[in-house]
Amino acid sequence: MALTTIRQWKHVFKLDPDKPISDDALDALCLSGTDAIVIGGSSGVTFDNTVDLMSRVRRYEVSCVLEVSGLHAIAPGFDLYLIPVVLNADSVDWVIGQHHQAVKEYGSFVPWESVAAEAYVILNPDCTAGRLTGASSGLSAKDVAAYAKLAERLYRFPVFYMEYSGMFGDMDMVRRARGELKEARLFYGGGINSEERAREALEAGADTIVVGNVIYESLEKALATVNAVKMG
Ligand code: 1GP
């Protein structure tokens, strides 16, 4: 069920529960035609601010998804749960450690049919998630291609996520990963702040683009990114 849903996504907005957002802005985002609202962040995420944001998004028909960033902020009631597995982290903690702990504690409550793992490769080591996970820097296109191949062929992850959070990435790198993937969905996130950049990432081969930061800088620009998938 989770996979059928994810395969339909071309565009998602990622909202950070630690950042304030007005009702009007939320209304515009939820009615924009985006395929899903993903709630997630790398710092300051709590159970309370996660549930608060979820209940506000829940007023709309758009899918409401939690990207789990830590044990402390797992809440019931989302349509879907995305679980990042950071392939280039410097600690096993971000690959399986935290996941193991979570299943030990909450395993009997997990709605497994609504859970999907994301094979993350963090390509901006200076972003919050990069620093937190000690993501390796200076990855070459060959490195990324190998991660993509491993993610799909060996581990059979449904999603391969190229995370450039905070900066617009190298589209040649995206093309290279695209060339390795047949089954996994290619997510691209980072620095999409215009319709043009959204289009570029899609043309490079991203199946799904993730738009985050620009929401808090210019709502108008954030909304414009949806045009790339709805009219393209
Ligand atoms: C962050 O990939 C997303 O997790 C989106 O990146 O915030 O740079 O848009 P931006």
Q: Where are the domains of the chain?
A: 2-231
Which atom of ligand 1 lies at the shortest distance from residue 42's CA? 4
Q: Amino acid identity of 105?
A: E
pLDDT at 33: 97
- 187 C-alpha vs ligand 1 centroid, how far in Å? 11
pLDDT at 117: 97
Does 156 have pLDDT greater than 90?
yes
Residue with tokens 């515009």: 28
d(CA 114, CA 43): 24
How far does the chain reach from its first CA to its final CA, in angstroms?
27
- Within 8 A by CB and 6+ apart from 52, the residues are 17
Q: Amino acid identity of 100?
A: H
pLDDT at 2: 83
Does 52 have pLDDT greater than 70?
yes
- 212 C-alpha vs ligand 1 centroid, how far in Å? 4
pLDDT at 96: 96
Which pLDDT band holds residue 231 (cuts at 50, 70, 90)? Answer: low
For the CA atoms of 91, 205, 17, 167, the dihedral, rounded to the nearest 10 degrees, stands at 70
Summary mean pLDDT of the chain? 95
Residue 127: alpha-carbon gap to chain centroid: 14
- Mean pLDDT within 129-154: 95
**CATH architecture group of domain 2-231:** Alpha-Beta Barrel (3.20)
pLDDT at 71: 85
pLDDT at 189: 98
Does 232 have pLDDT greater than 50?
no
Does 98 have pLDDT greater than 70?
yes
Does 196 have pLDDT greater than 90?
yes
Q: How many CB atoms lie within 10 A of CB 126?
A: 12
pLDDT at 227: 96
- 85 C-alpha vs ligand 1 centroid, how far in Å? 16
Q: Which of 164, 188, 200, 208 to mutate to test the pocket of ligand 1 (most atoms within 8 A of CB)?
A: 164
Q: Which residue has the higher pLDDT, 223 or 69?
A: 223
Any residues with Cβ below 6 Å from ligand 1, and which?
14, 163, 165-166, 189-192, 210-214
